[in-house]
Amino acid sequence: MNKMVGKTLKELRSENGYTQEQVSIYLGITQSNLSKIENGERNFNMTLLDKLCLLYNCSPEYLLGETDSHEKSSIAFRSDKKVDLNVVAKMNEITGYLKLLRKLDGDK
């Protein structure tokens, strides 16, 4: 299972154009640890799972391979190496809340 999760993380990082260095800084871990996670050699905790879900705008179930459903983020950022992944994650979180509010409003 670790290899499958690691493969998914690597694919998401690549799809979004992030480097291991950027993601490891965002997560607060070393690049070496991120590499081990992506290669299925190391587990990660719930805090990292939450941060990864916010960054990649996906559910924990998607990251853990329990579902194939994933909606890619529709927020566009400048494609330079200086993008702040904390800002990306926060924007994804806000977007998720807005979608939930729209859904709840439509259920009236």
Q: How much is the pLDDT for 67?
A: 86
41-70 CB burial, b ≥16 within 10 A, e <16: eeebeeebeebbbbbbbbeeebbeeeeeee
| Single-letter residue type at 42 | R
Low-confidence ranges of the chain (pLDDT < 70): 71-81, 107-108
Q: How much is the pLDDT for 73?
A: 65
Q: How much is the pLDDT for 4?
A: 92
Q: How much is the pLDDT for 33?
A: 97
Task: For domain 2-106, give the fold.
Answer: 434 Repressor (Amino-terminal Domain) (1.10.260)
Q: How much is the pLDDT for 82?
A: 80
Q: How much is the pLDDT for 105?
A: 87
Q: How much is the pLDDT for 2?
A: 85
